[in-house]
């Protein structure tokens, strides 16, 4: 659809331009605010990396933990989600459909409710409550449906059923078939699911704010803390840290997913 | 299916099943039972207590208004971008959908940068009229913030849907002398209806459950997620927080369920 259908559309153009301004201006503004000496004076006060340094000293730890939790969420949802997706794709029982329906509920139910439920059920176990594992569990529950759904739809392809049958008649055991034939065949879907899980986990706040403790903070939790208690330059610099650290990782993953799709996708 | 095969599939689903049971289903079932300990009336507190009722109405009205505004603007921008080719279009589309990966707190902060006490609008208005205008901490700030995190999803969805639209219908309508407004009403709207319903449901659900944005803005306009948070942390009123969570969950789930029913009804026709 490269041909413009009518040449002038002033109304559409105006709305698009205004919306773009509304969406992009705050990003630029926050980047700028994190780099100037004094926000209320403006650019005239000169540029500095002082605020970034301060953020790194106070909140640097949250970056590593956020990335680690996101990576662990990807690993865990792949480990338990891929076999589950296979079972759901091959089973036609009513139980499987009901389970699939239940599994997607944590997406529909507000994160706050899930967090409350987890705290009420496991909050008494101090060693668990005070560790990053508590946040990780919340992230896995929330992201699992995305992995399962993406991979399950890939498993449903007809040629995969035939491929598996061929491997079986040739005498391959189930683990051999699963790891040697099925998983490679749906790998692009696993990568796409992993990208979704990673993105959701890194930016997750609704659950995490309830589940965190002063010693277990992720990047979005630290951000909220800095917005509430620090000067506006530090909040902006911290937002800039989020962009610098997270966006390249997301873009790299996205490029990888596209590459996989092109090379192995059908 | 042989029993052996069935056993194999059950084994495959077991790890995820056990995890889900232990860390979501059982805790949530307990949450569902919690308000009963304080009497059955606790379940209906959102209907019987004026304060909670107001908070729920606030949230629903805000979410509906944001959803409608987002659908209109998102459709306009999405269709425009899908129909035009110009230099930097891919970059613009990438920038417009970038906020999908931002946590809600960042979007709250953006609105503070725009309309807060030290915000851009306050600076400009003090130079122009000698008065600092702030809107970040009221209803307008909340509305703009919700609009900000809703728009990227709508723009991406409509851009994709508009790419797939049938141009011939539109050409036919135009050659028959239909005005631009009639084309929008009689060709675009029906063709984009399934997209609009599905996208609208997700936007509404996201707005209802959004917590980080309102939390950062510390808005005077109280939404249900903030009410739940306050009951839980400030007053340690777990039964009430649970009851409000259930009410919020029901409203959100109902919106998603009804639109899915509508969607399958469309497909069956």
Whether residue B239 is predicted with pLDDT greater than 80 in this model: the reply is yes
Decide if pLDDT at B235 tops 80. Answer: yes
> Which B-chain residues 56-95 have CB contacts (< 8 A) with chain A?
73, 76-77, 79-85, 92, 95
A128 pLDDT exceeds 50?
yes
Q: Does residue A259 belong to the interface with chain B, where contact is any CB pair within 8 Å?
A: no
With an 8 Å Cβ cutoff, are B12 and A20 in contact? Answer: no
Highest average pLDDT, of A168-182, A238-252, B64-78, B172-186, comes from B64-78
B235 touches A at CB < 8 Å: no
Q: Cβ neighbours of residue B86 under 8 Å, at least 6 residues apart?
A: none
Q: What is the pLDDT of residues B186-230, one digit of tens each?
A: 888 888 888 899 899 999 999 998 999 999 998 788 899 999 999
Q: Does B36 contact A at CB distance below 8 Å? A: no
ipTM reported for the complex surpasses 0.90: no
Residues of the domain holding A200? 54-264
Confidence of residue A2 (pLDDT cuts 50, 70, 90): very low
Given a cut of 80, whether residue A100 has pLDDT beyond it is: yes
- Are the Cβ atoms of A19 and B151 closer than 8 angstroms? yes
- Between residues A246 and A2, the one the model is more confident about: A246
Query: Which of B80, B108, B215 comes nearest A12 by C-beta?
Result: B80
What pLDDT is attached to residue A1?
A: 42
CA distance A212 to chain B (A): 13
- Residue range B147-164: average pLDDT? 91
Q: Would you tell me which residues 130-159 of chain A have a C-beta closer than 8 angstroms to some C-beta of chain B?
A: 137-138, 140-141, 144, 148
The structure tokens 């706040």 sit at A205
Task: Flag if B114 and A232 touch (Cβ within 8 Å).
Answer: no
Rounded-to-integer distance, Cα B199 and Cα B149, Å: 13
Mutating which of B31, B77, B103, B235 best tests the A interface, going by the most A Cβ atoms within 10 A? Answer: B103
Which residues of chain B lie closer than 8 angstroms to A20, CB-CB?
A: 77, 92, 95-96
Residue B265 confidence class, pLDDT cut points 50, 70, 90: low
Per residue in A189-231, pLDDT tens? 999 899 989 989 999 998 999 999 888 999 999 999 989 888 8
Higher pLDDT, B144 or A60: B144
Q: Looking at residue B259, what is its pLDDT?
A: 85
- Mean pLDDT is highest, among A5-19, A50-64, A251-265, for A50-64
DSSP code per residue over B63-111: HHHHHHHHHHHHHHHHHHHHH---TTHHHHHHHHHGGGGS-HHHHHHHH
Hey, how many other C-beta atoms are within 10 angstroms of the C-beta on A99? Answer: 19
CA distance B59 to B65: 10
Q: Which residue in the set B82, B162, B253 is minimally distant from A109, CB to CB?
A: B253
Contact between chains at B212 and A83 (C-beta distance less than 8 A): no
More confident residue, A3 or A145: A145
A19 located within any domain: no
Of chain A, the percentage scoring pLDDT greater than 90 comes to 36
pLDDT band at B266 (very low <50, low <70, confident <90, very high): low
pLDDT at A246: 82
Chain A: give the shortest CA distance to residue B31, in Å. Answer: 5
* pLDDT value for A261: 74
CA gap B191, B196 in Å, rounded: 10
Q: According to the model, what pLDDT value does residue A3 have? A: 44
CA B53 to chain A, closest CA, distance in angstroms equals 18
Report the share of chain B in percent with pLDDT over 90. 38
Average pLDDT of the segment spanning B100-107 = 91
Q: What is the pLDDT of residue A4?
A: 46
Topology of domain B41-268, CATH: MetI-like fold (1.10.3720)
pLDDT at site B37: 83
Q: Is the pLDDT of residue B264 over 80?
A: no
Burial B98-114 (b: 16+ CB within 10 A, else e): bbebbbbbbbbbbbbbb
A156 confidence band (pLDDT: 50, 70, 90): confident
Q: Does residue A41 lie in a domain region?
A: no
For residue A38, being part of any structural domain is answered with no
- CATH number of domain containing A151: 1.10.3720.10
Question: What is the pLDDT, as a whole number, of residue B5?
Answer: 84
Using a CB–CB cutoff of 8 Å, tell me whether B236 touches chain A.
Answer: no
Nearest to B109 among A91, A219, A235 (CB): A235
CB contact B169 to A (< 8 Å): no
Q: Count of domains in chain A?
A: 1
Domain ranges of chain B: 1-38, 41-268
User: A39 and B120 in contact (C-beta within 8 Å)?
Assistant: no
The residues in A 158-177 lying below 8 A from B, measured between CB atoms, are 174
| A21 within some domain | no
């Amino acid at each position: 659809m490269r041909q413009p259908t009518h040449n002038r559309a002033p109304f559409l153009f105006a709305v698009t331009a205004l919306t773009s301004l509304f969406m992009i201006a705050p990003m630029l503004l926050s980047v700028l605010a994190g780099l100037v000496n004094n926000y209320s004076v403006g650019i005239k006060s000169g540029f500095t990396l002082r605020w970034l340094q301060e953020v790194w000293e106070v909140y640097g730890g949250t970056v590593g933990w956020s990335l680690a939790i996101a990576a662990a969420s990807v690993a865990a949802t792949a480990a338990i989600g891929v076999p589950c997706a296979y079972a759901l794709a091959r089973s036609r029982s009513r139980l499987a459909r009901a389970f699939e329906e239940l599994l997607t509920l944590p997406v529909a139910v507000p994160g706050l409710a899930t967090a409350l439920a987890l705290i009420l059920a496991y909050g008494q176990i101090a060693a668990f409550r005070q560790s990053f594992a508590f946040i990780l569990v919340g992230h896995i529950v929330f992201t699992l449906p995305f992995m399962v759904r993406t991979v399950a739809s890939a498993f449903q392809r007809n040629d995969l059923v035939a491929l598996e049958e061929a491997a079986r008649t040739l005498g391959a055991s189930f683990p051999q078939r699963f790891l040697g034939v099925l998983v490679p065949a749906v790998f692009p879907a696993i990568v796409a699911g992993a990208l979704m899980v990673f993105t959701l986990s890194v930016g997750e706040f609704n659950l995490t704010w309830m589940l965190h403790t002063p010693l277990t903070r992720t990047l979005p939790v630290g951000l909220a803390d800095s917005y509430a208690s620090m000067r506006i330059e530090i909040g902006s610099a911290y937002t800039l840290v989020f962009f610098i650290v997270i966006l390249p990782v997301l873009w790299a993953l996205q490029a990888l997913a596209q590459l996989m799709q092109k090379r192995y996708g059908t | 299916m042989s029993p052996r095969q069935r056993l194999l599939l059950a084994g495959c689903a077991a790890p995820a099943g056990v995890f889900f049971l232990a860390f979501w289903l059982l805790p949530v079932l307990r949450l569902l039972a919690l308000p009963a300990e304080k009497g059955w009336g606790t379940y209906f507190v959102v209907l019987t207590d004026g304060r909670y009722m107001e908070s729920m109405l606030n949230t629903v009205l805000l979410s509906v208004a944001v959803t409608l505004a987002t659908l209109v603007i998102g459709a306009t921008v999405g269709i425009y971008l899908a129909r035009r080719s110009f230099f930097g279009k891919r970059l613009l589309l990438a920038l417009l959908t970038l906020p999908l990966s931002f946590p809600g707190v960042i979007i709250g902060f953006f609105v503070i940068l725009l309309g807060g006490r030290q915000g851009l609008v306050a600076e400009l208005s003090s130079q122009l009229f000698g008065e600092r205008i702030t809107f970040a901490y009221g209803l307008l700030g909340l509305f703009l913030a919700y609009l900000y995190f809703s728009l990227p999803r709508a723009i991406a969805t409509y851009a994709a849907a508009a790419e797939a639209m049938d141009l011939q219908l539109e050409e036919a309508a135009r050659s028959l002398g239909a005005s631009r407004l009639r084309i929008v009403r009689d060709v675009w709207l029906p063709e984009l209806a399934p997209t609009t319903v599905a996208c609208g449901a997700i936007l509404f659900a996201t707005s209802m459950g959004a917590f980080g944005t309102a939390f950062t803005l510390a808005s005077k306009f109280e939404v249900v997620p903030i009410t739940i948070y306050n009951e839980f942390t400030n007053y340690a009123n777990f039964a009430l927080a649970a009851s409000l969570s259930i009410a919020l969950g029901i409203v959100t789930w109902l919106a998603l369920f009804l639109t899915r029913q509508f969607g399958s009804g469309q497909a069956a026709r």
